[in-house]
Structure 1
Amino acid sequence: MRCLLTGFPGFIGTRLVRALLEDDDVTVDALVEPRMLDRARAAAREFGGRVRVLEGDITVARLGLDEATYVDLAATVARVYHLAAVYDLAVSEALATRVNVEGTRHVLDLCRGSARLERLHYVSTCYVGGERTGVVLESELDEGQGFKNHYEATKFAAEALVRASMPRVPTTIYRPGIVVGDSRTGQTQRFDGPYFILWFIHRMNRFGLTVGAMGSEDATFNAVPVDFVVDAIAACSRDPETVGATLHLADRDPLTTAEFVRLLSRELTGRDPRGPAVPDPLMRAALRLRPVRRHLGGTPYESLVFLSHPVRYDTTEATRHLARNGLVCPPFAGYAPVMVDFFRRNLDDESLRAPV
């Protein structure tokens, strides 16, 4: 079975390729932008010729491929996995639109013209819910919501394109929460997302201070380990009952953001936060300064809003389908020690730091 995958050799993409190749009849064509070619070819060598690296560009019509390659894909590809996106919370509107929206449009063009396509597997995000509060259902998308950043807005627009194509393109949509490292090893590709909180705790602790009462008892922090996300997509690939489904790959019972910060503080420093938190306006102002962002591991000020956003992502459909495949999202408290230990052991690895 021939598969086309975007997002290789990214952290999720490389792991997903490994999981898909557990089926002996699967081969993967990885569409890779020019600047990632060397890294992709090195990663592909692990798979013994079952991964072919194609130089292309999702932001260009016909995926930037030569005519013969494009026609060959359209005639033979059975599954398409579209993972490639810009995930930066501080991304510009123009770049996010080009990659997340136009890139998805070009992938859909290929899917609609594919003679043997069985399914498109599209990786969206829980955060297409934008500024919505309360419970967000998997069946919902456009509820008139606003968005906290261009990443959310463009992923929403891209998912809207995917949904509009579903009468012609068999599709499963996956909406992960905030993806963190492996729940068994702690390994991650970059210290971003919740790792920004760890950076802040680490820096404060060096001065004998705590982060104070960060977070909210009303907001939740929905972290999911990368191995769960990969296992879920791989299992659903083999399960015809998931065609047409939209699945929140999220924690069914997430911690509040205050609990999340307390747990990370205990694991990293052995003590709970205490005292008042740094006022949010002051923290935002400080994080607009590049030296401060760098000192805190690249933390963007745009990330602060997630600590006070009261939203929950319903997982009814995901729970039903994944349970049939023997999968459940592990609770964060169960793998937090492994995640923090990996962070502690790799603090000095510059390759893991978020860009500033």
Structure 2
Amino acid sequence: MEYGYFFTGFPGFICNQLIREVLKRNDLKGVIYVLVLQGMMDKARKERQAIMKELDLKDEAFVLIEGDITQPSLMSSIDNHEYLNGKITHVFHLAAIYDLAVPRDIAYKINVKGTNNVNNWVRGLTQLKRYVYFSTAYVVGTREGTLYESELIRPKSFKNHYEETKYEAEVLVDKLKREIPITIIRPGIVKGHSQTGETIKFDGPYFMMNFLDRLKFLPLLPKLGKGEAYVNLVPIDYIIQATTYLSFLEKGIGKTYHLTDPSPYRASEIYTFMMEELINKKPMGTLPLTVGKWFLSIKPMRRYLRVEKEALDYFTWMGHFDCTQAVNDLKESGIICPDFKDGLKPMTAFYLKQKDNPNYQIPIL
């Protein structure tokens, strides 16, 4: 039977990169079906065209389907349900809202209700071989210490509504493991490609770069707090390669994987590396994190610095992700997570090239 791959989250960066990798891994065999919001259709057509040209695909090998995961029917045309039922073998659910500052009602509607709608549709697929769900390692919320792939424990609290709703969504998917073949992917904080530096938006670690770039005129720049927490940054190419391999690995069925850096650096180390590479300075002194948070509570200040105040919570969170299961199951593939320092030069070069491009900077509320 010919493979039929169904993706949510197109034309998002992670999704379009994953589509490329899935097709390459399977010798360009199979048909791609992507669910696209009506308002994203023009962008989706352009990205589809780019992928088809790059991989020399036939027109019928890549199908755009208008729809919305927040609607129970998913697809705008009910005819698509019957048409797709016997064709879909692999579902990759990536659609979500990733903003750390997102209001809870919006996050719940997209991340939780949307995932529940996808789950309900997936359960009816007669030819399904794998359902791959993109979660996040940060479903652990404020739990600290060593955190394992086999755990899905509701913490006492979450750092933001993104974490909370991704936890609730993962619980829904995890329950289906008894019924259908599922693989859950929990990435760390995703950064640009380890070799090219390419990314689609400057969030996560790029807030640190924004901060340094905006304040580089100062004679000295202090550290933000003690910076003892480990910050788990993972390049997009590792996420894509590892996800693709694990999605077709038979022993990956029923497992949850931390696609995290087995040897992450502390926040203070990352801050120092970035400062030296970006503005050729070293940090002097320490600014208490409480003062930094106070500054970022002032809207004009955080907009000038282009930093979400929620990002500072990850400078003090003392959790460490155990990724033994992922590392072990990836051994035969030769896929390993690159060292953060090895990708810092291309990451910085890409940032400097695009830092003033509004398409890369996210709106700061």
Report the TM range for the smaller structure's normalisation.
Answer: over 0.9
1:111: which partner in 2?
A: 122
1:311 paired to 2:319: yes
1:140 to 2:151 alignment: yes
**Residue aligning to 1:291:** 300
Partner of 1:32: 36
Partner of 2:173 in structure 1? 162
Q: Is 1:301 aligned with 2:309? A: yes
Alignment of 1:335-346 (within 5 A): 335-346=343-354
Alpha-carbon distance, 1:93 to partner? 0.8
Corresponding residue for residue 255 of structure 1: 265
Asked if the contact 2:11/2:44 (under 8 Å) is kept, the reply is: yes
String of CA shifts for 1:166-219, please: whole Å, max 9, x gaps.
111210000000000010100111111111111111122123331x12254531
Residue aligned with 1:61, SS: coil
- RMSD over equivalenced CA pairs, Å: 1.3
Task: Give the C-alpha shift of residue 143 in structure 1.
Answer: 4.6
Change (3 A) 1:176 1:215: farther
Match of 2:86 among 75, 81, 84: 75
1:56 counterpart residue number: 67
* Cα contact 1:74–1:110 (8 A) shared by 2: no
SS at match of 2:234: strand
CA distance, structure 2, for counterparts of residue 63 and residue 338 of structure 1: 39
**Unaligned stretches of 5+ residues in structure 2:** none
CA distance in 1, matches of 2:198, 2:300: 27
Report the counterpart of residue 321 of structure 1 in structure 2: 329
Contact 1:224 1:329 in 2 (8 A): yes
Q: Shift of residue 72 of structure 1?
A: 1.9
CA displacement 1:116-166 (0-9 Å, x = unmatched): 000101110000010011010000011543211110000000000001011
Partner of residue 12, structure 2: 10
Q: For 2:46 and 2:197, how far apart are their aligned partners in 1? A: 23
More divergent stretch after superposition (25-34 vs 138-147): 138-147
* Structure 2 counterpart of 1:275: 285
Larger displacement relative to structure 2 (52-61 or 280-289): 280-289
For the 8 Å contact 1:74–1:111, the answer to whether it is kept is: no
User: Residue 336 of structure 1: CA displacement?
Assistant: 1.2
Take 2:83 and 2:120, find their aligned partners in 1: how far apart are those partners? 14
Q: Whole-Å Cα distance in 1 between the matches of residues 225 and 21 of structure 2?
A: 36
Secondary structure in 2 matching 1:352: coil
- Offset of residue 348 of structure 1: 1.7
SS in 2 for 1:18: helix
Match of 1:241 among 241, 251, 268: 251
Q: Secondary structure at the match of 1:234?
A: helix
- Segment drifting more, 168-177 vs 39-48: 39-48
Q: Which residue of 2 aligns with 1:153?
A: 164
The residue aligned with 1:330 is 338
Match of 1:353 in 2: 361
Amino acid at match of 2:189: I
Q: TM-score, length-normalised on structure 1? A: 0.96
Query: Would the alpha carbon gap of residues 348 and 88 (structure 1) be closer, same or farther in structure 2, given more than 3 Å must change?
Result: same
Report if the CA contact (8 A) 2:102-2:162 is conserved. yes
Q: Which has the higher mean CA deviation after the structures are superposed, 340-349 or 35-44?
A: 340-349
Q: How far apart are the structure 1 equivalents of 2:76 and 2:277?
A: 48
CA–CA distance in structure 2, aligned partners of residues 325 and 56 of structure 1: 35
Q: What SS does the corresponding residue of 1:89 show, helix, strand or coil?
A: coil
The 1-side partners of 2:301 and 2:44 are apart by: 33
Distance 1:216 1:283 in 2: 12
Count of residues in correspondence between the two structures: 353
Give TM-score scaled by structure 2 length.
Answer: 0.94
What percent of counterpart residues are identical? 36
8 Å contact kept, 1:20–1:26: no
State the distance in 1 between where 2:351 and 2:318 align: 27
Q: Is 2:275 the counterpart of 1:265?
A: yes
